[in-house]
Structure 1
Amino acid sequence: MNNTNTLRLTEGAMMTAFFAVLLLITVYVPFALIVTGFFLLLPFLWYGVKHSIRASLVMFLASVIVTGIIAGLIAVPIAVAYGITGILMGWMVQKNIEKSIIFLISTLVFVISAVVQYLFSILLFEINIIEELLRLVGESVERAITVYNAAGIDTGNLQEQFAQSLIAFETLLPSLLIFSSALLVWIMMIINFPLVKRIAKKDMPKFDAFRNLSLPKNVIWYYLIILLTALIASPEQGTMFAYALINLQFGFELLMVLQGLAFIHFYGHLKGWNKGLLVILTILGVLINPLTRILGIIDLGFDLRKRMTEKK
């Protein structure tokens, strides 16, 4: 029993130190976040897979304290976001929960953590990250416009496009936050799950093939209801109702694009296309997403995959 406790404490200290090193590199090395951001989850996931949830929480608290000491309070939200997500992932792996469910729950936790970090920065440091970002972008655009004007280039359209882009960004911020969090969690799972499997010698859940991805049938009806509501109600721009409606529409459009891409992979598998061609078609599908979205609607609404499978 003592040996077990000693091993648990030793591994907890090792993972805490490993996370501290990664965090220091992330905070103090310029642009390191582009790489290290995908591995900050690893110490918590590895420890969470091997040990109980109680031991994992102790390791998490130790990491938060160490983070506050070596990097300051401003880095604590980073430790909280990655720590909670990693420990939760490890616990769900222990419980043999499906990888798709792990992905959805982890994304939700990461989104909540991001919102808490945003509120934390405002309340404690009186720093509004979004406003600062928009200010910096605005200053960059103003400098560019000044240069263009000095060169005799008309910037009237550029200013209008920039103003519209800012409005669109502020309006779609909730959807963009969810989408970016889901993408980050998905990439972290792809990178870290094989590493944990190799290092910890634990079986890790796998995603089903992307070609088999299919949304519930109800999704298309929700999407149609939102579209009809937007057409009939014509909400006034700037109201909370319009704000919610635009974000819902954008979110469901992304889901339809995902459905369309999954159908392309299904059809390619059915025809025996090579992976290189599927990669090219996926990129084209993202670039011409309106057509991909229509394909996803048709696939979901008319059971294209079932019909094609039965026909074959």
Structure 2
Amino acid sequence: MNQSRQLTDGALLTVIFMILMMIAIFVPVITLITVFLLPVPFIMFASRYDWKPAAIMLIAASILSALLTSILSLPLPIAMGLGGIMVGSAIYHKLSAYETLARGTIGFVVGLVFIFVFSQYVFQVNLVNELNNMFEQSITMSRDVLDQLGMEKLTEEQMTMLIEQFGMLTDLLPVIIAITALLLAFVSQWVSYKVISRLDNKQLQFPPFRMMQLPVSLIWIYFFSLIMTFFGLDQDGMIYLAVNNILMLVGILMALQGFSFIFYYAHVKQMSKALPIGSVVLTIILPFIFLYLVRLLGIIDLGFSLRDRISDDKK
């Protein structure tokens, strides 16, 4: 009976995935929304039967995708399936929401890297070079528009500076992949929690954001990476790229910890929600000022256990 139900669920969820993928490919208007929903069928199946049956579902979905669309679409089910299976398996083993999120992020990182490797070796398309070419074309088009409008033309020095700045984005590609994977994992996990709670009568939810607590070891990683930047590393070397990517990624995590502390402080002190929400808005509007302050607050929170001190003061 259980085997029969497993096959039925697998077939139904595979069909749902195929419908979502068709929408993502052929209806560009809602592609972005659909992409976040693609991992959900894998999450639901893996949350019920663990990763091994879900891996078989992934193979079936990949074959169907190649047959019904083209081989070009093969990376999409694999990337979404890997992340979805990692999230679903964590739910199956009753891990906490943030542990589940961490595993899902790893799964999506592997999936996104697979897309780059697949494009490089199967289609001979270097996505990094394509991005650089796109940036250069965008800058050239902007200069032409300025010329047509009779505005001041960009000098060669300014052009070179812009190209170098855009080139830094490709150097930070690992961070961009990690952030994209984290966003995919969070949204798909949140949607899956809602669906699973309704269909399977489970109480799955994220703890309040104010309760988020990152490992203290991240502080040492952040400061070690920061110290490495003072050694005059070769900007074309792998160590330089690795240090800058780690510094950027951990810095973002420290900022999230800082925001989490602000929400915690407002909750403990019974302050208006306008304070934490306002801090987020101000950081988005003026990131060059407030982002560093929030990041510093996150470092102090982790390093000196500010939350424990606030709790003790309240007692």
When the two structures are superposed, what TM-score results if normalisation uses the length of structure 2?
0.90
The aligned runs of 1:248-263 (5 Å cut-off) are 248-263=246-261
Partner of 1:245: 243
2:30 partner amino acid: A
Deviation, structure 1 residue 54:
3.7
The aligned runs of 1:125-140 (5 Å cut-off) are 125-140=123-138
Q: Which moved more, 1:278-287 or 1:140-149?
A: 278-287
8 A contact 1:46–1:200 mirrored in 2? no
| Separation of aligned partners in 2, 1:245 and 1:57 | 35
Partner of 1:185: 185
Partner of 1:106: 104
Partner of 1:36: 34
Q: Which moved more, 1:241-250 or 1:156-165?
A: 156-165
8 A contact 1:48–1:87 mirrored in 2? yes
Matched, 1:301 2:300: no
Across the aligned residues of Structure 1 and Structure 2, the Cα RMSD in angstroms comes to 2.0
| Separation of aligned partners in 1, 2:274 and 2:227 | 39
Partner of 1:175: 175
8 A contact 1:145–1:155 mirrored in 2? yes
Q: Which moved more, 1:124-133 or 1:20-29?
A: 124-133
SS of residue paired to 2:122: helix
Equivalent position to 1:291, from 270, 290, 293: 293
Q: Which moved more, 1:169-178 or 1:124-133?
A: 124-133
8 A contact 1:15–1:44 mirrored in 2? yes
SS of residue paired to 2:74: helix
| Separation of aligned partners in 2, 1:54 and 1:309 | 44
Cα pair distance change 1:111/1:309, threshold 3 Å: same
Return 5+ residue gaps in structure 2 as ranges: none
| Separation of aligned partners in 2, 1:54 and 1:172 | 34
The aligned runs of 1:115-126 (5 Å cut-off) are 115-126=113-124
Matched, 1:225 2:224: yes
| Separation of aligned partners in 2, 1:50 and 1:89 | 12
Partner of 1:80: 78
Cα pair distance change 1:68/1:214, threshold 3 Å: same
When the two structures are superposed, what TM-score results if normalisation uses the length of structure 1?
0.91
SS of residue paired to 1:125: coil
Aligned residues: 308
Cα pair distance change 1:276/1:41, threshold 3 Å: farther
Which string of whole-angstrom CA distances, capped at 9 and with x for unpartnered residues, describes residues 252-288 of structure 1?
Answer: 2112211211111111112223435432222223432
| Separation of aligned partners in 1, 2:178 and 2:84 | 18
Q: Percent identity of the aligned residues?
A: 27
Which string of whole-angstrom CA distances, capped at 9 and with x for unpartnered residues, describes residues 82-137 of structure 1?
Answer: 12222232222121112211111111111111111111111111122232233223
Cα pair distance change 1:140/1:189, threshold 3 Å: same
